[in-house]
Amino acid sequence: MQQQQINSWIEQYPMLKNMINLETVFWLNSKRKKMADISGLAVNLADMQRAEQLWQRFAPYLATEFPDTAAANGIVESPLREIPMMKQQLDDHYDGEIEGKLFLKCDNELPIAGSIKARGGVYEVLHHAEKLAIAAGLLATEQSYEQFSSQQFKQFFSHYSIGVGSTGNLGLSIGIISAKLGFQVSVYMSSDAKQWKKDLLREKGATVVEFEGDFSEAIAAGRQRTLAKSDAYFVDDEKSEHLFLGYSVAAFRLKQQLDAAAIQVDADHPLFVYLPCGVGGAPGGIAFGMRQIFGDAVHCFFVEPTHSPAVLVGLMTGEKEKLCVQDFGIDNVTEGDGLAVGRPSSFASGISEKTISGIYTIEDQELFKLLTLLADSEEIFIEPSATAGLLGPLKIRASGYAKTNQVSMTAATHIVWSTGGALVPQEEMNGFYQRGKAYLGG
Ligand SMILES: *Cc1c(COP(=O)(O)O)cnc(C)c1O
């Protein structure tokens, strides 16, 4: 973009200047709407319910094929854990005082893919597989889905291919479930994708195609090559409704978990949710679901790296996918896996624009510090990007959000969405931990 054009954007949105300088920012979404005033979204509660039903139909199959889902009878879900020691750590280390309770939503423990991508990615592939099987007359929805384990089904799916562009985690999720069903699956990976993720995917039977460029380029190349084949399906992270719905279902499950823990959510007991954000599909789907279930009592915030504030640029300017961070000279280089995204999802942005409360940015160094603080205080090890939400409660407090919006914080519940980590090799994790230790100065 021309400097003159950049200057005129900055004039309109002064915060862009701080973002270009890679400073951390806290942005409030003035376009957030009350539920009563939200209409015309591309998806609704009935779509979420249908998505949940699809998961239920596939549960017997998943329980058989993925032993880590067996205990929950094939439902892909993660625990919600209170982290009081980390809360103390955050108060001490950042000299803050968090009001309310602090929980970690442990998607780092999600079965199948060990990250939040097990929600959207697995869902979209199951949805596609079901559609193919029904169209071919192999299946009726009232029949047992254990048939998907049969040789006949695998043989059938081997004639179809699936492609996806990914920085790593989405590729793992799509690759693992697609290969298990018998599809030919190709994962187009950006240059920042970790070697161990490529190795693991190949081991699971996926084809890994490596690209020099970033995430958007990997997607563009993957889309083009996949769609050039016949009988091929491309999982498009830049505009997928299915991924979005797969993520949204998390809200139904979270409602059950909060009920089980006797945690109230209403105007006097607000719920705050902090979601690490890449293209905005996962956090957008979850925020959408949360607003459907908890209405105006839930306040959702996204978190992006200072080097990759793609959704923030898109929502702040209202231009969504039409602008990318590189247009402003921001380099999109971050060690937050899954967050190195320069351009937001068009589908998700159109919805998040109305549902979320705000976005803050975080420095890479902070991710490592938080990783180490969490490991030391709670003995929970998650990947760097997954820690981004941990600063949320302190950011909210510092911003005066509660006062402006007349929200009482004393009975608040904070949920930090931990988005990945289970599959990270021990050696890598040790390296992350040591880096955090060094940044903390100890
Ligand atoms: C993909 C991912 C996210 C963000 O999801 P988007 O849909 O890209 O916004 C956050 N954390 C991790 C670990 C991820 O893999």
Last residue of a domain, one of 222, 243, 264: 243
Q: What's residue 211's pLDDT?
A: 83
- Please give the C-alpha separations between residue 408 and each of 180, 403, 413, in angstroms, as whole numbers: 48, 8, 11
Q: Is the CB of 240 under 6 A from ligand 1?
A: no
Whether 284 and 397 share a structural domain: yes
Whether 35 and 133 share a structural domain: no
* Alpha helix (H) residue ranges in 106-235: 117-135, 151-157, 169-181, 195-203, 215-227
Which DSSP category does 410 fall into? T
Q: Is the CB of 117 under 6 A from ligand 1?
A: yes
Q: Which residues of the chain have pLDDT under 50?
A: none
Nearest residue (by CA) to ligand 1, atom 2, is 338
Whether 97 and 129 share a structural domain: no
**Considering the domain boundaries, does residue 267 fall inside one?**
yes
Q: Is the CB of 308 under 6 A from ligand 1?
A: no
Whether 295 and 321 share a structural domain: yes
**Considering the domain boundaries, does residue 311 fall inside one?**
yes
**Whether pTM exceeds 0.95:** yes
**Considering the domain boundaries, does residue 59 fall inside one?**
no
Q: How many Cβ atoms are within 10 Å of 381's Cβ, its own excluded? A: 19
Nearest residue (by CA) to ligand 1, atom 14, is 338
H-helix or E-strand containing 162? strand 161-166
Beta carbons within 8 Å of 397's beta carbon, 6+ residues apart: 96, 97, 98, 99, 409
Rounded Cα distance between 254 and 201, Å, is 30
Q: Is the CB of 278 under 6 A from ligand 1?
A: yes
Beta carbons within 8 Å of 146's beta carbon, 6+ residues apart: 60, 61, 64
Whether 267 and 409 share a structural domain: yes
Q: Which two tokens stand for residue 342?
A: 């320069």
pLDDT tens digits, one per residue of 104-145: 999 999 999 999 999 999 999 999 999 999 999 999 878 899
Residue 251, burial from CB neighbour count under 10 angstroms (0-12, 13-18, 19+): buried
Q: How many structural domains compose the chain?
A: 2
Last residue of a domain, one of 243, 258, 280: 243
Whether 263 and 230 share a structural domain: no
**Residue 281 C-alpha to ligand 1 middle, in angstroms?**
8
Measured over the CA atoms of residue 218, residue 107, residue 426 and residue 385, the dihedral's sign is: positive
Coil, helix or strand for 335?
Answer: coil
**Considering the domain boundaries, does residue 49 fall inside one?**
no
Q: What's residue 442's pLDDT?
A: 65
Residue tagged 């549960």 (tokens): 59
**Residue 141 C-alpha to ligand 1 middle, in angstroms?**
31
**Considering the domain boundaries, does residue 409 fall inside one?**
yes
Q: Which phi and psi angles does 415 have, rounded to 5°? A: -120, 115
**Considering the domain boundaries, does residue 53 fall inside one?**
no
Whether 314 and 423 share a structural domain: yes
- Please give the C-alpha separations between residue 192 and each of 175, 213, 385, in angstroms, as whole numbers: 18, 8, 14
Whether 117 and 253 share a structural domain: no
Q: What's residue 215's pLDDT?
A: 79
Whether 71 and 120 share a structural domain: no
Q: What's residue 190's pLDDT?
A: 83
Q: What's residue 121's pLDDT?
A: 98
Rounded Cα distance between 365 and 363, Å, is 5
**Considering the domain boundaries, does residue 171 fall inside one?**
yes
Last residue of a domain, one of 186, 214, 243: 243
Whether 357 and 370 share a structural domain: yes
Q: What's residue 118's pLDDT?
A: 97
**Considering the domain boundaries, does residue 52 fall inside one?**
no
Q: What's residue 156's pLDDT?
A: 98
CATH number, domain with residue 150: 3.40.50.1100
Index of the ligand 1 atom closest to the CA of residue 243: 7
Whether 201 and 326 share a structural domain: no
Q: Is the CB of 216 under 6 A from ligand 1?
A: no
Q: Is the CB of 423 under 6 A from ligand 1?
A: no
Q: How many Cβ atoms are within 10 Å of 301's Cβ, its own excluded? A: 27
Whether 204 and 254 share a structural domain: no
Residue 177: domain span: 113-243
Beta carbons within 8 Å of 362's beta carbon, 6+ residues apart: 24, 303, 304, 305, 306, 388, 391
Residue type, 198: K
